Chain A
């Protein structure tokens, strides 16, 4: 933390005092610091200072070594020492009740939250020796219920990214915070004179009450200033749709607890949206092996691009994005709403199917739910609200609240307004807090050119990115793990974010910058946040705590402020407004090729481009890494005569982009989907110049779907790398599926599809596992294929990133992978299945037999152990593993050089060097930690005490791990379930990781209708 804050007044650099010295030194860290002390020892001015401060010891008599010895200690105590990790000087509260001193070897957990898209996901962060190393979900937080997604898991790597900006940059050269505060002071005087005319602030979505309050104070102070909000993954349509339907801004929150029939119109609710984690868990609670068959839910999905929600669906219909409105209208009418003529222009499916779906919805009044995705226009959202009301779902499967965002404006409109002001020359100072509009603004707004007219441009961000390069000032921002802040989850619950480590570099948080804007420079984020909540507490807005200190300690400990979720409000749909809108907007003819934009599933809107874990994470469904692509349906690819990797030109008007093609079965016809977040040029060493920039085609009026684009083959090719080249199960019974009826008729269908050799079929005497016997069950009904487990495993086990060239040959290092299969005979609409595959820890492991040095053996608790230091790397074990879960370090993949990355590593897990095999260990380090803990307390390890990283990260609890010898454990009960089966058991491997077969719940009427077209279904 910078001690600059501790001074009130800026000094000029020529007069020396300890404070200035601190300021000078505060800009430098680490080894440079010590060198600077040496330099200072030669500096005549410093010497003069010493004379004045310490007149009795003339420094000329002191040699350098003694000088350092004398000064070192005192300067350290003055707060200048740079230990490599420092706890924040303020008190932070760990999640355990254990004493708060750090015990080497024992991690502490702290509750905080990660803001993504403005909304907070409650987290517990594991800290080793004062360094955050692993992120978990906070089980008590209502928005995550303990689950996490890939972004939360990978964000710990961003903290330690060596490419993060570390210093203030002014006009391309290194500057200081002090210099910026000075500039700010001058500007503030000008704003005071002009009441803030010409001052504009641009942020992304803000839910932080403290920040919102600060900005409001600023706007009160400078009434002519304006606050604009923009982030590229806009939620404008849902806002507009709600306004259309209800006449005021409200937010819908689905509740799947009672929902038996769910209809999704392009809503990928299981993996996107601020409440995705809660939605996923709630939805899956009604379709897992333990769910009573009668209570199983059913999901219909209409979508243009295959999504993970679509993969889970019982019925999925690939439909062009523009045609979904027609589907919505047709269904609304069938549900009883007076939808005006004409009806949906071309509803591209048999109308009887819509009849059946509508019947299903109506039969489940109050237990159904209609959801619409962000990409759909407002009138479709409004129709969905109307349908939910007509079906009696409001208050049961969907509740409405006031908007959670602090400034619930439509982002595109806000950005457009800013751009117009900049164009007109009315913007004098632009302060960009955390956003990257030069890269992410839609191309038609020409943000970069217009921003150049602004006299003073300031950017606060984690990286010196595209926007920073065009701004006068770039201020390095603190990562959320380094800063005090607060935020709201999707339901409104507030979490106060506490840092786990003092800022690694000379960064400040957005609150600290805002405080400076308000004239309170040098206030720490801690003071700001604490002060705000003290005010709230004293104003009586928080209940249930005796005093503020108790409140503060408790909410930091728990990771949330109870009772802050927004209360439901009663709403009613204004049908006339919707009908009027529908009448004026005839549904589109939707001819030609449509271009659909989607946030990238692993780099989001581009902000994670420099995160190696996320770049190497195979994207769901396409399994592409290190690249984005233009996704086409097989029929369209055939029509154009292109195959995977052929580069096509996508053109709209005078804008065009070259993109490589990837064929995705299940893609809607005549639709091209591109992912945002690639094509960056200032993302850092890892993320720059990858893929193509889809923002160049984006329009502010049509941010998600553009109709009528041209697509043209070129002669170029681009190497796209995918981790899975074969998409079918080739007739092998890997994912076993049945419909609900088939399952009820024959509960053992899954086991019958495989062959389990009898237990006695072995040459060796059978081993009896007494004591603990670890096992795992993965419920394929609950698995979304979201990849949270893959990143969690990577973070927990120090798994290296190998780069695109190595992944191309098949050398990716993930210990767990999600296999994705397309099944069925219709390539245009296949069934999509996901299967996480990790080490099966076979009791008759083929790998153990063939290792010449005995580096892989079986423990007496059932684990297949990989002994890295005994492995000589013959790779016979990998060859003999039928599941191919073993990973080999063909080169030295682990980064042994970058200092900051070393800090992220889990000290309980070896970092492997070259020539050594590795694989899933059932997180043996966690098992051992639990064993030690239990032994110290003189008891057995309890059920649920050991959670593997993958199990803990999974938002739907699809992975279950535990002690098979405990008959009460969840895993033991699931192993006895009818749906439980192992794969490749006919090889007599006796895997300890087994699966629960997938059960689908199709609508018999819809099935019958489809069956006429597809008799084999």
Chain B
């Protein structure tokens, strides 16, 4: 349907939330056609090749850096004493945080029966998986002896030694592996009917076999659907607590320590809110180019962007509250180390980063109060990028400024990232984008069967009121 027609229809039809999430005029077939065309029939656009090349080159950077790191040691990074964690943990938390939006959209919005989740949940969940993959590299590679990573897993061994269960890093292991596993299962489960669709529509034998194998014999029978729905909702129920628990456990990496700036009870909710905040910003950053370049505006409508912006605003406010409480509590506690820590953040050598953080995360996001801004795609994209950066700065401030000046002034130092800190980071972005591009090319970016489920409701709602 052309742009003018669509707008005409929008004007003619009274406002209906169901219409807002799927442009009227679609049938089952047109939805399937449109989405599966990205995978099966459309010629791969040149832009995809360009993007994929850049992403792949960045991935090469990651491999090179990881190889150099394994060969030489963690010393190629800027970590030192007192700042034993730098970009490695900052990026770990950043990536894991990003992943939370996908799970929230997939699982929580499903349980809350929010229909607007349908067009975004597939790629958001993929985003989660890929973000977890990127995040998971860091705990492995930041270790001094990464080839012994398996000692963090509880397996019976000849040494008779188990991981030390009081350590948050061990909890991390469980949390992250659970998260990765459940996310993957959930995502794959959701893909099965669509894989079957692709299997049925694929023209070449190779793809038919591949999708067929992955579709696991899906026939679309009523029995299949019945069991499917049950399993899907069960997995959603499993994944829901993860949205809160995983980042809580990650926040324990900091909160369990004694360091001023880390040891704060507000960290679990603050981190979870921050994760959702940064996750939605990333979903927005992915959704906007996706809908533009693949002409998916019918499916990912302004309403979706509007809703996501509202969630961003809400979580942004919680995060802002967190900053405020940190500062207030530092003063109110009377603890000289806490007070120094907050003053150091505001006026010490890393002060510009702290203030940039506040501008990005608290200042800029206030624009989202305005519904005009929330409907302006370009503005939303810019704000989403700013929030992505701001959340990265927040992790930097938390990790580095707390460590670099703690209890004994004789041990104070500075942290300067080296070129390999940056190449590793860019490399993980490369990994993420590579996987994302492959996903877009090889799998349906939007959940076909869930979109199809919306057609009858939308068709009814878009019938003209006057008979």
In the assembled complex, the Cα of A91 lies from the Cα of B408 at a distance in Å of 52
Q: Does A914 contact B (CB under 8 A)?
A: yes
Q: Does A875 contact B (CB under 8 A)?
A: yes
A852 pairs with B152, CB closer than 8 A:
yes
Given A728-B409, A882-B407: A852 and B82 interface contact (C-beta under 8 Å): no
Stretch at the interface among A413-421, A771-779, A804-812: A804-812
Q: Does B398 contact A (CB under 8 A)?
A: no
Stretch at the interface among B68-76, B104-112, B293-301: B68-76
Contact bitstring A823-863, B, C-beta under 8 A = 1, else 0: 00000000000010100000000100111111000000000
Query: Chain A nearest CB: distance from B421 CB in Å?
Result: 12
In the assembled complex, the Cα of A732 lies from the Cα of B411 at a distance in Å of 13
In the assembled complex, the Cα of A890 lies from the Cα of B139 at a distance in Å of 16
Instruction: Tell me the nearest residue of chain A to B340, going by C-beta.
Output: A730
A915 pairs with B73, CB closer than 8 A:
yes
B149 pairs with A872, CB closer than 8 A:
yes
Given A734-B408, A850-B257, A884-B408: A916 and B73 interface contact (C-beta under 8 Å): no
Q: Does B13 contact A (CB under 8 A)?
A: no
User: B146 — which chain A residues lie within 8 A by C-beta?
Assistant: 872, 915
B75 pairs with A872, CB closer than 8 A:
no
Could you tell me which residues of chain A, from 866 to 893, have a CB within 8 Å of some CB in chain B? 870-876, 878-880, 882-884, 886-892
Q: Does B80 contact A (CB under 8 A)?
A: yes
Kindly count the residue-residue contacts between A and B in the assembled complex, taking CB atoms under 8 Å apart.
161
B403 pairs with A879, CB closer than 8 A:
yes
Out of A725, A809, A819, A874, name the residue touching B80 (CB < 8 Å).
A809
B410 pairs with A872, CB closer than 8 A:
no
In the assembled complex, the Cα of A114 lies from the Cα of B192 at a distance in Å of 81
> Binding site of B, secondary structure by majority: helix, strand, loop or mixed?
loop
Query: Chain A nearest CB: distance from B142 CB in Å?
Result: 7
In the assembled complex, the Cα of A643 lies from the Cα of B204 at a distance in Å of 73
Q: Does B419 contact A (CB under 8 A)?
A: no
A851 pairs with B164, CB closer than 8 A:
yes
User: A873 — which chain B residues lie within 8 A by C-beta?
Assistant: 74, 143-145
In the assembled complex, the Cα of A171 lies from the Cα of B73 at a distance in Å of 45
B406 pairs with A882, CB closer than 8 A:
yes
B81 pairs with A884, CB closer than 8 A:
yes
Query: Chain A nearest CB: distance from B252 CB in Å?
Result: 10
Q: Does A731 contact B (CB under 8 A)?
A: yes
Could you tell me which residues of chain B, from 101 to 151, have a CB within 8 Å of some CB in chain A? 139, 142-146, 148-149, 151
Query: Chain A nearest CB: distance from B158 CB in Å?
Result: 13
B412 pairs with A726, CB closer than 8 A:
yes
B80 pairs with A810, CB closer than 8 A:
yes
A730 pairs with B163, CB closer than 8 A:
no
Instruction: Tell me the nearest residue of chain A to B405, going by C-beta.
Output: A726
Contact bitstring A875-919, B, C-beta under 8 A = 1, else 0: 110111011101111111000000000000000000000111100
A732 pairs with B336, CB closer than 8 A:
yes
User: B161 — which chain A residues lie within 8 A by C-beta?
Assistant: 853-854, 870
Residue from B142, B145, B168, B408 whose CB has the most chain A CB atoms within 10 Å: B408
Given A854-B164, A875-B144: A732 and B79 interface contact (C-beta under 8 Å): no
User: B259 — which chain A residues lie within 8 A by C-beta?
Assistant: 879-880, 882
Given A810-B413, A873-B74, A879-B259: A916 and B145 interface contact (C-beta under 8 Å): yes
Q: Does A20 contact B (CB under 8 A)?
A: no
B163 pairs with A890, CB closer than 8 A:
no
User: B152 — which chain A residues lie within 8 A by C-beta?
Assistant: 852-853, 872
User: B410 — which chain A residues lie within 8 A by C-beta?
Assistant: 724, 726, 817, 819-821, 835, 837
Q: Does B258 contact A (CB under 8 A)?
A: yes
Query: Chain A nearest CB: distance from B2 CB in Å?
Result: 57
A852 pairs with B406, CB closer than 8 A:
no
Size class of the contact patch on chain B: 35 or more
Query: Chain B nearest CB: distance from A990 CB in Å?
Result: 13
Instruction: Tell me the nearest residue of chain A to B411, going by C-beta.
Output: A884
A914 pairs with B73, CB closer than 8 A:
yes
Residue from B170, B253, B413 whose CB has the most chain A CB atoms within 10 Å: B413
Q: How many residues of A contact B (CB 8 A)?
A: 54
User: A728 — which chain B residues lie within 8 A by C-beta?
Assistant: 409
User: B336 — which chain A residues lie within 8 A by C-beta?
Assistant: 731-732
Could you tell me which residues of chain B, from 227 to 283, have a CB within 8 Å of some CB in chain A? 253, 256-259
A874 pairs with B73, CB closer than 8 A:
no
Instruction: Tell me the nearest residue of chain B to A846, going by C-beta.
Output: B258
B163 pairs with A852, CB closer than 8 A:
yes
Out of B148, B162, B163, B256, name the residue touching A850 (CB < 8 Å).
B256
Q: Does A58 contact B (CB under 8 A)?
A: no
In the assembled complex, the Cα of A876 lies from the Cα of B92 at a distance in Å of 15
B168 pairs with A850, CB closer than 8 A:
yes
B84 pairs with A891, CB closer than 8 A:
no
B167 pairs with A891, CB closer than 8 A:
no
Q: Does A729 contact B (CB under 8 A)?
A: yes
In the assembled complex, the Cα of A889 lies from the Cα of B84 at a distance in Å of 11
Given A725-B412, A811-B80, A874-B169: A853 and B407 interface contact (C-beta under 8 Å): no
Out of B78, B144, B173, B409, name the residue touching A916 (CB < 8 Å).
B144
A880 pairs with B257, CB closer than 8 A:
yes
Out of B72, B142, B340, B406, name the residue touching A874 (CB < 8 Å).
B142
Query: Chain B nearest CB: distance from A620 CB in Å?
Result: 14
Out of A734, A879, A890, name the residue touching B73 (CB < 8 Å).
A890
B144 pairs with A889, CB closer than 8 A:
yes
Query: Chain A nearest CB: distance from B279 CB in Å?
Result: 26
Q: Does A941 contact B (CB under 8 A)?
A: no
Query: Chain B nearest CB: distance from A946 CB in Å?
Result: 28
Out of A734, A821, A853, A983, name the residue touching B164 (CB < 8 Å).
A853
Q: Does B166 contact A (CB under 8 A)?
A: yes
Q: Does B52 contact A (CB under 8 A)?
A: no
Q: Does A21 contact B (CB under 8 A)?
A: no
User: A732 — which chain B residues lie within 8 A by C-beta?
Assistant: 336, 407-409
Query: Chain A nearest CB: distance from B349 CB in Å?
Result: 11
User: B142 — which chain A residues lie within 8 A by C-beta?
Assistant: 874-875
Instruction: Tell me the nearest residue of chain B to A876, going by C-beta.
Output: B169
Q: Does B85 contact A (CB under 8 A)?
A: yes
B143 pairs with A915, CB closer than 8 A:
yes
User: A837 — which chain B residues lie within 8 A by C-beta?
Assistant: 408, 410
Instruction: Tell me the nearest residue of chain B to A917, going by C-beta.
Output: B144
A810 pairs with B82, CB closer than 8 A:
yes
User: B409 — which chain A residues lie within 8 A by C-beta?
Assistant: 726-730, 732, 821
Q: Does A987 contact B (CB under 8 A)?
A: yes
A892 pairs with B143, CB closer than 8 A:
no
Other than the known A810-B413, A876-B167, what 14 A-B pairs have Cβ atoms closer than 8 Å? A730-B409, A732-B409, A809-B78, A819-B408, A821-B409, A846-B257, A852-B170, A852-B173, A871-B144, A872-B151, A875-B142, A876-B168, A876-B253, A889-B144
Interface residues of A (CB under 8 A from B): 724-732, 734, 806, 809-811, 817, 819-821, 835, 837, 846, 849-854, 870-876, 878-880, 882-884, 886-892, 914-917, 983-984, 987
Interface residues of B (CB under 8 A from A): 72-75, 78-82, 84-85, 139, 142-146, 148-149, 151-152, 161-164, 166-170, 173, 253, 256-259, 336, 340, 403, 406-413, 416
10 pairs from A and B in contact (CB 8 Å cutoff): A725-B412, A852-B170, A853-B163, A872-B145, A872-B146, A873-B145, A875-B142, A876-B168, A876-B257, A889-B73
